[in-house]
Structure 1
Amino acid sequence: MSPGRSWFLAFVVAALVAALGVWPGNIPLLWSACLGIAAGSVTLLATRYAGPLDPLWRAVPDPAGSATDLQAANLAGRLAEAAGDQVRFVSRVQPRLRALADAAVRERGLSGAEAADFLGPELSELISSPYAQLPPPRRVAELLARLEKP
C-alpha cells in the first residue's frame, strides 16, 4: 500500500474511533482522542509494514528427478540425433556402446573368441565398424539386453 493511502486510512480509523468514543461511548474527549491516536498508529504500522494483503502464489516446483532420468533423457536425445546422422553416431553413440560392451566383457572375464561369441556378430559390427548404421530402437534394446544377461 502506498504511503499516502496508509496515512489516510490511519487518519480515518483514528477519527472514527475517537468519534465513536465520544458520542455513543460517553468517553471524555481527551481519552477518546488518545484511543483514536492509538488505533490510528496501529493501523498505520499494519498497513505500512505488513506488505500486500494478497498472497503471492507460485507453482509448486517439480520434484527433482534422479540422475538416471537425466542420463536417460540425454541418451534418448543422442540416439535420436544419431539415427539420422552417421557422423554423430560414430562420434557420440558408438564410443558409449563400445564402453558398455567392454565393461560387460570385462565383468565376465572373457577375451578373444569368447568375447566375440558373447557379443555376437551384429553387436560387434555395431560397436566397431565406422560404417555401421544405428538399427531401429527395438533392435538396439535387444542387443543391449544381451549385455545385461548374466
Structure 2
Amino acid sequence: MSPTRILAPVPGRAIALRDVPDPVFSQGMVGYGAAIEPPHQVLDAVAPVGGAIVRLLPHAYVVMTADGVGVLVHLGLDTVALKGEGFTVHVEQGDQVSAGQRIVTYDVPAIVAKGLRPVVPVVVMDEREEGNVVPAESVGTEIACGTDLFTVNS
C-alpha cells in the first residue's frame, strides 16, 4: 500500500497528538495522528482525505479511503455533550467526498463559550503502530486548511 497524505481539515496551529489535553487522544487509544488548535472563528471543517463518510456525527466524522484508511476528525474535546449545538453538517453518512470538501461548519466561538476546548484531533482509526504515522513539517506551526498534516504508511 502506498503512503496516504492526511490534510488539515481546519486552519490553525498544528500540534503533536501527545499535546492534546485528553488521554484518549494523547495516548493514541483511538489511533495516531496530529491535532490543530483552530482560530476562534466559524470554520468549515473539510475532508482530510477522499473517500466515503462512514461515520457522521455533528462533532466528528470518519472518512474511509479506497485503500481502507479510516481518518477521524473530532471537532473539539467533549463536544459530544453539545448534542450538535455549534455544528452544521453538510453531507450525509455514506456520501463519497473529495479531499478538501466541506463536511461540517464548526462554530469555534460557541464551543469556547461553553467552556470546552476547540482543539481538533485528526487520527488514523485503529492505527496501533505510532511509527506508521509521520507528522508533516507543518506540525508546530500555523497552517492553512488543506496543508499536509501527516502521512500514514500502513
Q: TM-score range by the shorter chain?
A: under 0.3
User: Which structure shows the higher helix fraction?
Assistant: 1
Structure with bigger gyration radius: 1
Q: TM-score, normalised by structure 2?
A: 0.24
User: Which structure shows the higher strand fraction?
Assistant: 2
